Structure 1
Amino acid sequence: MRLVSDLKGAGYLISTASVLLLGIVTWQSASERPLLLICLILGMLLSVLGMMLRWRSHRLEQKERDRER
């Protein structure tokens, strides 16, 4: 079960890195229009926050399962 947890964590880290890389690529063109820049920043933050929450919920579920055993 530890392998599954490690793989999920690695997947969330890879997804976070991809959000950051895509944000870097679009930063210059978005910076020319303030509304686009705000949307880009908020979208990146929300995406990373969502991945962090999913990872945290996975860890909490794992701890509950371990306690039940």
Structure 2
Amino acid sequence: HELVAVEDHIPEQPGEIELRVGDIIGIAGNHWDGYSKGMNKRSGATGLYPSYKAIEKWRIVDFPPLS
């Protein structure tokens, strides 16, 4: 599934990735230490970012009416 960045992130440690508000992130896993691993689809970079800086990207789909 995908997430969308809601805050910018400037990497502070090796292995972290940059995020800009609106970036789409392909999630690779949650490290359960406040960081998640993912791929920034804008930059192509893969690495860690603070989990709270991204939220689920929802897709709204039309369903046909039930008859």
Q: Which has the higher contact order (CA 8 A, sep 6+)?
A: 1
| Structure with greater proportional helix content | 1
TM range (shorter): under 0.3
TM-score between the two structures when normalised by the length of structure 1: 0.27
| Structure with greater proportional strand content | 2
State the structure with more CA Rg: 1
